A = this chain, B = another copy of it.
Amino acid sequence: MSGQSTTPAGSGGLSRRAVLGGAGAGLAVGAAGGAWGGRASAQAPAAAGPGLGAARVPFHGARQGGITEPAQARVEWAAFDLLASTGRDGLAALLRGWSAAAARMAAGEPAAEGENQIALDAGPSSLTVTFGFGAGLFDKAGLADRRPAALAALPAFPGDALDPARSDGDLWVQVGADDALVAVHALRVLLRLATGLAAPRWLMSGFARTPGATPHPMTGRNLMGQVDGTNNPRPSDPDFEAAVFATGPDWMAGGSYAVLRRIRMLLEGWDTLPLDKQERIIGRRKSDGAPLSGGPGAVERTPVDLAATDPDGVLRIAPDAHVRVAAAASNGGAAMLRRGFSFHDGLLPDGSPDAGLLFAAYQADPARGFVPVQQRLARGDGLSRYLRHEASALFAVPPGAPAGGYVGQQLLEG
């Protein structure tokens, strides 16, 4: 397939790569660093540095970008509702236009002839654009018979406080880049292309670590200060592909299902907890993410020992510790690739921060990924007292498009 990597993957079958475009250099970055923690792999030290702008992730490929690549410094999420007049042909035109613009911008080219040069001097800065389809799309586009069963509505979870206006949507666009102007410009291009075809439903904006902000690659921290993502599946895991990427229906083979949750953190309460209380709630040391079961010599990647006790016989990982409840949920084989971003949207009327996590989980089947994990967490996780799930969405993220094709083509023309 044109545009695909010719670099030996060595990363569990991931085929996408980012290319440092300056002076024709072709250094693979991205996939091996992954959403599972490290911002850049040992293969990719140049992802930070003078080449940050030039780093590019080809749009075309077997997978869409923005799933397994490291979380960029800036993300924009936008959901759209298809207009009644758009129909199947209009949807195909929209997706064709979106894919063409995304491919050009990801290559560092203007989105179209005569495009308005807003981010002209910046390179693509690892720009990825990811498209998703919500359950409502299929009826509106006359494709009800092709709606995946996996798009069945998520169950209600204890503690959910969902705002319908910021949930769901017929279409989803994720734009990520390491430069904010590049990301915002790309979002605006895509919004403009939707005019008359689909109406914006909600927008969210988030951030992750700027490349180079930490001296060496490591798992990122969320706004609670927790090292977040240690146990994310890795492409080298034997079941990575099966856990993250779907095999069907036909047009979704090689795609994934994305669960999005806007999770506000009750930071004022959390921040006043003593450190040892915070660590007990999580089950890990805050300083380095090492499991509390591992003793002073443990490191972040030390396996969690749920049976470990202290000399008094007390479990080192508390019964309601986040890592214990999450681990129990995963024992049934549940796995999902988390690729979240922090958000900070100012203060709520009561003065508390409107801040937290734009959580995204990718899986082959939400019923075997997010749903069982969240059912356990919502009931038994001590951390849940400090979280509010305020918005939710589920999208089918189709496979990538080959050069000359567009995302969703297998659905629209299949």
Instruction: Return the contact of A221 from the options B48, B120, B221 (Cβ within 8 A).
Output: B120
A74 in contact (CB, < 8 A): yes
Docked-complex contact B53 and A50, CB < 8 angstroms: no
Scan A34-63; emit 1 where CB is below 8 A from any B CB, else 0. Answer: 000000000001001111111000000000
A contact face: mostly helix, strand, loop, or mixed = loop
A22 to B216, CA, bound (A): 12
Contact status of A50 and B215, CB under 8 A, knowing A119-B221, A120-B221, A181-B207:
yes
11 A-B contacts (beta carbon < 8 Å)? A52-B210, A52-B213, A73-B210, A114-B275, A116-B225, A116-B278, A117-B287, A119-B221, A121-B221, A123-B214, A205-B346
Q: Give the number of times this chain occurs in the complex, counting copies.
A: 2
5 shortest interchain CB distances as A-B pairs: A52-B212, A49-B49, A180-B207, A179-B213, A118-B225
Number of interface residues of A (CB under 8 A): 63
A85 to chain B, nearest CB (A): 17
A184 at interface by CB-CB < 8 Å: yes
A322 at the interface (CB under 8 A from B): no
- Known A116-B225, A203-B347, A351-B200; judge A214-B184 contact (CB<8 A): no
Is A218 positioned at the interface, with any CB of B under 8 Å from its CB?
yes
| Chain B neighbourhood of A123, CB < 8 A | 213-215
With A205-B344, A346-B203 as contacts: A271 and B116 at CB distance below 8 Å: yes
By a CB distance below 8 angstroms, the chain B residues around A346 are 203, 205
> Any chain B CB within 8 A of the CB of A122?
yes
Within 8 A of B (CB), among A47-99: 48-54, 73-74
Q: What is the CA–CA distance of A180 and B120 in the complex, to the nearest angstrom?
A: 23
